[in-house]
Amino acid sequence: MEMIDILTNRRLFVFVCVCMVTLQVCASTGIDPTNKHAWSENAGWINFAPVGGGVSIHFDGSIGYLDGYAWGENIGWVKMGNGNEGPYTNSDTNDWGVNFDGSGSLFGYAWGESVGWIKFDPAYGGVVIDMNSGVFDGSAWSENIGWIHFHGALPSYDVRTIAFEKQPLGTPNWWLDHFKVTEEYDEGDHVPAWQEQVMDTNPRDPSSFLSIVKEVTKPWGHLFYFPSSAQRYYTLQYISDLTNEEWTDVPGQVDISGAGGEDVLLDTNEPPRQLHRIQVKISP
């Protein structure tokens, strides 16, 4: 499970690196070259990773879109968007394309010169991307060629994007593509991009990283303030001696869902002088 720890000794905080690995890997969000075909009874095979074309998937964590070209031997090129950066409004002929929501459900239109509009969220159909495996499932609809199926058993075929695969340090390809960084990219805050993905911070902004920004001592306890994400979970831990290396969770402050923005965790104990840290996880 991906996690990052932030450490403080009441007034001073330092970042604790999980590990140091030298890797520079560019992420791809295209289509798996071995799983690239959709099928239409009236148009035959449609290749989503053809030579000279190809479809890519772009995602920001909440909404995404497709761009590029698929190819059908019988129908020619099928374009996933009008050429502008998505998501697309699909409000007129100057802004159209295929989008998908945070659950992977596709909506909007592709276009082929020989087949016209292809709707990805038609009545009695629709296409969904599995956000874990990247496999497309379901059917799109064209008034001119009928159903286009993205997954079948006899013969076995499907379309699969590698956008949701992870790089060696655990960072999804789509996230690296969204920020246009590699896992080891550091914009100057000494926090590599792969750790910023776990923190849900911006690897392009030197001021955006997880840290304990303030501690307030009250008669009834100690409050630790930090910037949180509503998509992450936080645990407050303490230790009296760093040579011990065993941190203890503060009771009641384990896997707390972030509020988004400034957040706070609380230790109501009154032990001897000790260190605190905040651990962040993508899932509890």
- DSSP assignment string, 99-115: EEETT-BEEEEEEETTT
Mean pLDDT of 1-18: 45
Q: Once rounded to an integer, what is the mean pLDDT over residues 116-120?
A: 98
Sequence-distant (6+) residues with CB within 8 A of 207 are: 189
Residues 100, 272: Cα–Cα separation, whole Å:
53
- Residue 7 pLDDT class (50, 70, 90 cuts): low
Cα–Cα distance for residue pair 138/68, rounded to 1 Å: 20
For the four alpha carbons of 165, 18, 234 and 199, in that order, the dihedral sign comes to: negative
What average pLDDT does range 259-274 have in this prediction? Answer: 87
Percent of the chain clearing pLDDT 70 (strictly above): 90
Whether the CB-CB separation of 269 and 221 falls below 8 Å is answered with: yes
Q: Can you give the pTM of this predicted structure?
A: 0.85
* CA–CA distance, 64 with 160 (Å, rounded to integer): 15
Taking the C-alpha atoms of residue 39 and residue 150, their distance in angstroms, rounded to an integer, is 7
What's the pLDDT score for residue 145? 98
**CA neighbor of 278 nearest in space, from 203, 171, 198:** 198
Least confident of 13-17, 89-93, 246-250: 13-17
Q: Please give the pLDDT value at position 12.
A: 33
Domain boundaries, the chain: 3-22+205-281, 31-161
pLDDT at residue 26, rounded to an integer: 57
